[in-house]
């Protein structure tokens, strides 16, 4: 199977080939013809499957082969926006728009990325020129709508990318507001890693007789990811991590923590150990995050410490090492985390440093991935067999604590992230104070809050 046999034009195939891809991935093989046919699509695919090209390539093709309908009285520079791609995070928006530019480099289409946390004025300026394809996060997009600097009345194609994550981050109302601004007749593409009842409800109202595509989840059974658990005491984790990085000469290590504070602290401590490290999370400015990511990609930075939401959508191919410095309390996040490594056929390694407080999280993860992860005790870091579990600070609790400053303090949806699927039980026994009990048999309520939007 080749890209040209999927019905893509020579200019697009050339750009894809120049990027180094010759064989479409399974999601691309299925999504490209479906999108080219003009119908709606509901696709189950997560990051790492090649889903971005799966929708970007056919959108480029459709827009380039059909000129924009004549807009009476509009000069060419003021042609309307024809495709809108919504993403949950800034990083993902930036990466998707980069793909649009890369794959569309031999075409005459114009694209723009729009997200919060940066000055709105250059965006307003840019919107005065021609934009065919807009990639945006929901909050900032609505800011523009409010300021009347954006017209979505002629959108022909809408993409909701990582729709499940958008709902998890509390964007459903924003999405509904945006949908109301679009013309009734349009093509809708929904990409989601999971199909919860909420996603199905959204799809029911949005999609008209969609083609359904589901590619195998890149889950923990992916052969290309070697997974291991290092049991260790909570206060020895940092030394063990530094030891592993130095001993095994790891480079480009993506390290996950549960909280923003934990990410900062760990990056500082690793730096003191002589390991170049930076933290990336929702409280960092966009410029700082972009810089950290660029340095990490170039290999200048040995370690990038990230929270789950900040790491979502980061596209670093052939990432050799993922470390769960702290296990996630939401087991699905483990699968997302290790999906960062071993992609596109490259060997990857995902290791978890697990202390006694996290045994329940580990059991939840092993249940989800349906396998027991191998344990390896590192000499000198043997865990104390008599250690007792202590309660764990979760992301949502960190957010509640840091809520004071209001908007701006939480530039992204971080902290509004998913509540765990079950009532939180402190490892010692009883319910964690302040934990939100789940509805019986259903998902816990998603927090809606004004400060956490992706502006």
Question: Look-up: residue for tokens 């992301």?
Answer: 395
Chain position whose Cβ is nearest to ligand AMP = 52
- Rounded distance between C-alpha atoms, residue 33 and residue 31, angstroms: 6
Give the torsion through C-alpha atoms of 317, 304, 398, 331, to 10 deg.
Answer: 40
Check residue 94 and report its DSSP letter: H
C-alpha closest to that of 47 among 418, 365, 304, 336: 336
Stretch that binds ligand AMP, among 19-27, 114-122, 205-213, 294-302 (CB under 6 A): 19-27
Stretch that binds ligand AMP, among 24-32, 181-189, 207-215, 441-449 (CB under 6 A): 24-32
Q: Smallest distance from the beta carbon of 180 to ligand AMP, in angstroms? A: 29
**Which member of 77, 216, 294, 344 binds ligand AMP (CB under 6 A)?**
344
Residues pairing with 211 in the sheet: 41
**Which member of 30, 35, 43, 49 binds ligand AMP (CB under 6 A)?**
49
Q: Given strand 253-256, what is the order of strands in its sheet? A: 225-231, 348-354, 321-324, 253-256, 303-306, 277-280
C-alpha separations of 246 from 228, 251, 300 in Å: 18, 9, 16
- Rounded distance between C-alpha atoms, residue 54 and residue 25, angstroms: 9
Of 218 and 260, nearer to ligand AMP (C-beta) is 218
Stretch that binds ligand AMP, among 44-52, 83-91, 298-306, 385-393 (CB under 6 A): 44-52
Run of H or E residues at 142: helix 138-146
Number of residues interacting with ligand AMP: please give it, by CB under 6 A: 16
**Which member of 37, 147, 317, 400 binds ligand AMP (CB under 6 A)?**
317
Q: Smallest distance from the beta carbon of 225 to ligand AMP, in angstroms? A: 14
Q: Confirm or reject binding of residue 30 to ligand AMP (CB under 6 A).
A: no
Stretch that binds ligand AMP, among 41-49, 58-66, 160-168, 261-269 (CB under 6 A): 41-49
Stretch that binds ligand AMP, among 22-30, 169-177, 182-190, 275-283 (CB under 6 A): 22-30
Q: Confirm or reject binding of residue 447 to ligand AMP (CB under 6 A).
A: no
Q: Smallest distance from the beta carbon of 294 to ligand AMP, in angstroms? A: 16
x/- letters, 277..316, toward ligand AMP (CB under 6 A): --------------------------------------x-
Q: Confirm or reject binding of residue 17 to ligand AMP (CB under 6 A).
A: no
- Rounded distance between C-alpha atoms, residue 138 and residue 454, angstroms: 7
CB 252 within 8 A of CB 314: no
Q: Confirm or reject binding of residue 252 to ligand AMP (CB under 6 A).
A: no
C-alpha closest to that of 51 among 218, 252, 221: 218
CB 322 within 8 A of CB 348: yes
**Which member of 6, 12, 15, 24 binds ligand AMP (CB under 6 A)?**
24
Check residue 319 and report its DSSP letter: B
List CB contacts of 191: < 8 A, sequence separation 6 or more: 43, 45, 51, 54, 55, 159, 160, 161, 162, 163
Of 22 and 450, nearer to ligand AMP (C-beta) is 22
Q: Confirm or reject binding of residue 21 to ligand AMP (CB under 6 A).
A: yes
Q: Using CB under 6 A as the criterion, which residues of the chain lie in contact with ligand AMP when the complex forms?
A: 21, 23-25, 28, 47-53, 315, 317, 343-344
């Amino acid at each position: 199977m080749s890209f040209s046999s999927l019905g893509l034009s020579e200019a697009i195939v050339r750009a894809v080939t120049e990027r180094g891809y010759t064989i479409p991935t399974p999601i691309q093989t299925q999504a490209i013809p479906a999108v080219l046919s003009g119908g709606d699509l509901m696709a189950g695919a997560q990051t790492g499957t090649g889903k971005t090209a799966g929708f970007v390539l056919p959108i480029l093709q459709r827009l380039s082969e059909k000129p924009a309908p004549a807009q009476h009285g509009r000069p060419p520079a003021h042609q309307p926006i024809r495709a809108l791609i919504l993403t949950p995070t800034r990083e993902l928006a930036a990466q998707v728009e980069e793909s649009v530019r890369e794959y569309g480099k031999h075409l005459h289409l114009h694209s723009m990325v729009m997200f919060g946390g940066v000055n709105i004025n250059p965006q307003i300026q840019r919107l005065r020129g021609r934009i065919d394809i807009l990639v945006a996060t929901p909050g900032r997009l609505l800011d523009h709508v409010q300021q009347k600097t954006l017209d979505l009345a002629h959108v022909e194609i809408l993409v909701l990318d990582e729709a499940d994550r958008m709902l998890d981050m509390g964007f459903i109302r924003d999405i509904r507001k945006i949908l109301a601004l679009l013309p009734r007749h349009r093509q809708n593409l929904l990409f989601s890693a999971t199909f919860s009842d909420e996603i199905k409800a959204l799809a029911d109202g949005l999609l008209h007789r969609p083609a359904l595509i589901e590619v195998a989840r890149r889950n923990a059974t992916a052969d290309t990811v070697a997974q291991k658990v290092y049991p260790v005491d909570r206060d020895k984790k940092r030394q063990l991590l530094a030891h592993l990085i130095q001993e095994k000469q790891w480079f480009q290590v993506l390290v996950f923590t549960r909280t923003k504070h934990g990410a900062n602290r760990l990056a500082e401590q690793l730096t003191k150990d002589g390991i170049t490290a930076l933290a990336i999370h929702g409280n960092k400015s966009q410029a700082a995050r972009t810089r950290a990511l660029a340095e990490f990609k170039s290999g200048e930075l040995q370690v990038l410490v990230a929270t789950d939401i900040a790491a979502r959508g980061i596209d670093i191919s052939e990432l050799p090492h993922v470390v769960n410095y702290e296990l996630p309390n939401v087991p699905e996040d483990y699968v997302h985390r290790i999906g960062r490594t071993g992609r596109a056929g490259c060997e990857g390694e995902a290791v978890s440093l697990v202390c006694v407080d996290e045994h329940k999280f580990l059991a939840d993860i092993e249940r989800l991935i349906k396998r027991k992860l191998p344990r390896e005790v590192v000499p000198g870091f043997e865990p104390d067999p008599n250690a007792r579990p202590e309660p764990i600070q979760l992301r949502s609790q960190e957010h509640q604590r840091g809520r004071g400053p209001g908007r701006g303090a939480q530039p992204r949806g971080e902290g509004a992230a998913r509540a765990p699927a079950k009532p939180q039980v402190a490892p010692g026994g009883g319910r964690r104070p302040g934990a939100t009990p789940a509805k019986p048999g259903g998902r816990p309520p998603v927090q809606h809050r004004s400060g956490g939007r992706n502006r």
